Every structure is written in structure tokens, then in C-alpha cells.
Amino acid sequence: MRPKLTRYLLEKGYATEEQCTEALQRQVVFGGKIGTNLLELFHVTEDQLLEALSDTHRIPMADPKRLDKIDPKLIKSFPEELARKHEMIPFEESQSRIHVAVTDPADMEGIDRISYRTGKVVVPSITTELKMGFLLEKFYGIQRDRRFISVPEEESRLREEWIKKKQRKLTEQGRAGEIELGPTTETTLAVADEAPLLIDPAADATPPLDLTSFDGASRSLSEANDRDDIAGTLLAFAGFHLERLILFTIKGKTVHGWKGGGMWKNPQLIDRIRFSLPDPNIIRDVAYRRETHRGPLDDIMIHRKLIQVLGAPFPREIVAFPLAIRDKVFCVLYGDNAISNDPIAPTEPVRRMAVKAALSFEILILKAKIAFCA
């Protein structure tokens, strides 16, 4: 069955089949909800999407104008941890009720926790994913949590050994105090409030895939369930060939930092990286030429700011790989060896894995289309 939201939009004439298909493809590549992608593509208006969400979930819509004028005292009294974890914002309260804007009315855990903490009946109203992101940042200074991928324990162990080896080399060079080796995004996963994983010791254990090997990473890509699976596998494989990595996405004329890997100072800042594609920069060059780049990084403002996020020093040589669907580049993988200044090894295996990653995205799009079609 076609998802209720898109079925409503189609029946109302708010969107066309072609527009929904375009949004679906965009959702697979960039994430987010299907309605969010329709909105970002200007195929529907916020009012049309809110109407569809309200009808789909059978709850009232939150008036955007009321959400922009929430009493600061109400925000201050509402625990930030609940707003962050459950993406819920209070916008009105009475003696016995509190009205809360939500993006997922089925999150009964969040509603129950709010009711318990406030002692009031929670009345949910639906809002869009984009509006919620704006509200969380405006009232709490919260940026969207990055999506993580679980990595097999064996791969994590191998990566830790690799980092220790690099640390020893830097110590021998007398440079260990100059560079803080930050944790990798693949091995340090902060997962809160999750039930423990119970494993039956009698069950046959499936050996973890070795994401550092070409065959293991290839198999992992073939079994990917979502975009984060693909990104995690690509970064894990590339991370054993390069010291610092960033996977960029290209949305229209804007470049966004998506995920990072390797040894660098500020992985939490990755999703704050954003700059104009048409301006001179390495991502533009790779995207326009649709070819791998290997060589020096031009000393220009955009690149200097990028390296500041990665953590000095400025690299002598970098490599960047395009990921394309139907000759259109949607992602670029950047890497360098600036921590140790080791020469970059042959990058053909990483280039081939980037091609496989792009094919995995295409497979996910086809699967989504099959599930989407009536």
C-alpha cells in the first residue's frame, strides 16, 4: 500500500506522482521524512503538508504562528532532555493540560514522560520535521542529533589498534602533544536509554564482517538497509587508508558536512559545515568534473575554515572521490593524511568502494520505489 501521507497529497492534488517519486529518491540519499523532502523541493506548502499530517495521524495541527510566539517561561519549565530526545515542544498550558507540538504522535513514551514530569494531561498537535528543527534550535539551542551506525565489535577493535599505532608513531616523532587524536565516529557511539542487548550463548553467532577488507565492505554495502549503513561502511573502509575523512552531501547549490571518520579534533562539528557549491572549493571541482582528485589543497578561505574544523595541520596532499547517480554527483568523500604527514597510499580501492557505495544508494532507491508504488 502507498504511504497514507503521499496518498492524501495525491488525492488532494497537492503533489504529483513525479514529485513524490523525486522526493522519495531524495529521501533515500539525504534522509528525512518524505513530507520534509516534498517541502524542501517546493512541491507542497507547509499548510498542505500540515493538513496531510493532521489527517494521517488523526490529531490537530499546531498553528505555526502560535509556535513562533511561545511563552519563554513555558519553555524554561519544560525539560530540555525531553525536547531533545522526543522532539516535542510545549506551546500552551492550562491548569490541567499542556499542549505539545510533536512530529511523531506514536511516541507514547515521550508523551507519558511529559505527563509524569508535568503532572498534566498531554494534548499533542502535529508539526513538520523542518518546523520542529527550527523550534529546537530557537528555544533550546539544540541541533539535530547525527545518525549513527553500529559497527561490529571486531571492526571497532581493529580501528582502535590502528589509532594506537598512529599515536605511537606520532610519539616517536615528538608530535603527540601537538595534535589531539579525537575519537572516531564509528567507534564511540553514545546510545542513551536503550535496553541491553540479550544474546543467547547457545545461538549460532554470525561472524562480524571485516569492514577493513574489500570483500567485507562490499558485502556490507550489499546488505545496507539505509543511508547510514552505506556511509558507515564507506568511512570504515576508507579509514584504513586515510587518516581524516569527511563525507559531504550536495543539496542544490549547497554543500553540507554529513559524517566524518578517522583522527580529528571536533567530530561533533561535522554537521555545522555548510558552504556554497558555486564558490571555489574542492567539492565543487570534484562534483563538476565527476572525477577523483588527488593533489594539494588550495589555500583559500573555505578550505582554511574546513581544516580548522578537522583540526590543524593544513594537509600537503588530499584526495576526494565523487559518488554519483546517473552522472549526477550527490556526495563527495574527502580524505587526507595530515596528522602524520605520511604519503597517501594508492587510492584505487577507496575509489572502487565509493563507486559501490553509490550503487548501494541506487539499490535503496529502487527498493523504496517498489514499496512506494501502489
Which one is predicted more confidently, 311 or 256? 256
| Contact present, 52 and 45 (Cβ < 8 Å) | no
Q: Report the candidate in 128, 109, 115 with the shortest Cα–Cα distance to residue 61.
A: 128
Give the span between the Cα atoms of 20 and 7, in whole angstroms: 10
Which one is predicted more confidently, 84 or 267? 84
pTM recorded for the entire structure: 0.66
In the CATH hierarchy, which fold is given to the domain comprising 153-192+208-372?
A: Beta-Lactamase (3.30.450)
Domain 64-140 matching CATH 3.30.300.160: the answer reads yes
Give the span between the Cα atoms of 278 and 6, in whole angstroms: 33
| Contact present, 332 and 273 (Cβ < 8 Å) | no
* Ranges of each domain in the chain: 4-57, 64-140, 153-192+208-372
pLDDT bin (cut points 50, 70, 90) of residue 162 is low
Beta-strand pair 121-126/88-93: unpaired
pLDDT bin (cut points 50, 70, 90) of residue 177 is very low
Mean pLDDT taken over the chain? 82
pLDDT tens profile 295-352: 999 999 999 988 887 776 889 999 999 999 988 999 999 999 988 888 998 999 999 9
Distances (CA, A) of 316 to 167, 260, 357: 20, 20, 27
Looking at residue 184, its pLDDT comes to 36
pLDDT bin (cut points 50, 70, 90) of residue 188 is very low
pLDDT bin (cut points 50, 70, 90) of residue 25 is confident
Q: According to the 3-state scheme, what is the secondary structure of the chain?
A: CCCHHHHHHHHHCCCCHHHHHHHHHHHHHHCCCHHHHHHHCCCCCHHHHHHHHHHHHCCCECCHHHHCCCCHHHHHHCCHHHHHHHCEEEEEECCCEEEEEECCCCCHHHHHHHHHHHCCEEEEEECCHHHHHHHHHHHHCCCCCCCCCCCCHHHHHHHHHHHHHHHHHHHHCCCCCCCCCCCCCCCCCCCCCCCCCCCCCCCCCCCCCCCCCHHHHHHHHHCCCCHHHHHHHHHHHHCCCCCEEEEEEEECCEEEEEEEEECCCCHHHHHHCEEECCCCCHHHHHHHHCCCEEECCCCCHHHHHHHHHHCCCCCCCEEEEEEEECCEEEEEEEEECCCCCCCCCCCHHHHHHHHHHHHHHHHHHHHHHHHHCC
Average pLDDT over residues 183-209: 43
Looking at residue 193, its pLDDT comes to 37
pLDDT(260) > 90: no
Query: What CA dihedral angle connects 41, 46, 50 and 52, to 10 degrees?
Result: -40
Average pLDDT over residues 84-88: 90
Stretch among 3-12, 264-273, 328-337, 362-371 having the lowest mean pLDDT: 264-273
pLDDT tens profile 27-83: 888 888 889 889 888 889 889 999 999 999 999 999 988 998 899 999 998 888 888
Q: Which three cell numbers stand for residue 53?
A: 499530517
Looking at residue 186, its pLDDT comes to 34
